[in-house]
Amino acid sequence: MGSQWGRDRFYRQARTEGYRSRAAYKLLDIQKRFQVIRDDDNVIDLGCAPGSWLQVLRELTDGQVIGVDLNPVPSIEGVVTLTGDFTTEYMHEKIRSLIGVANVIVCDAAPKLSGNKSYDQARAVGLSEEACDFALDFLKPGGNFVVKTFQGDMFHLILDKMRENFFGVKVYRSKAARKGSTEVYIIGKKFKGHRNDSEG
């Protein structure tokens, strides 16, 4: 496995430039193409371990940057990291006390893979939908949301949800994605506004 990672130019580049993982270049690629983050935005990163997206976010904005993950994340200067489940009411209250609402929410999280393609894809889409629900509660109107998901039979569920809640929605495969991966990012721009309580 080591030789495989060693041949990956993004892996080598991350090591050279000090990023914690090659995933940093996915966010840099998305930002270059879609300009989702402005230099004064407050940003929440869901599923932030090991922290490479937090490193990029800290470079892109002077606003507040908060990362949440089930696993502890080594500290990054100028970034607040929280350990826990972003779907819980406890974590929601914790985040609200720190940031209130955010201009941008990003999520590069993925479930641990079992090897069962349909099961893994269902879990991945479910995680993406949970991240979207979080964004609908924490984004300012006009805010932006970036979420990783995987193409397959259930892909339309998260895509439809995004189209209901953002004025602009694009599906993008990063140039930094590994060959053969079905991984894509959905970019939602200009959040329409907080959902009604009647929607749940």
Catalytic residues: 148
Q: What is the length of the chain?
A: 200
* Axis crossing angle, helix 117-138 with helix 155-165, rounded to the nearest 10: 10
**Which two three-digit tokens encode residue 193?**
């506004």
Integer Cα distance of 130 and 86 in angstroms: 9
3-state secondary structure 83-120: ECCCCCHHHHHHHHHHHCCEEEEEECCCCCCCCCHHHH
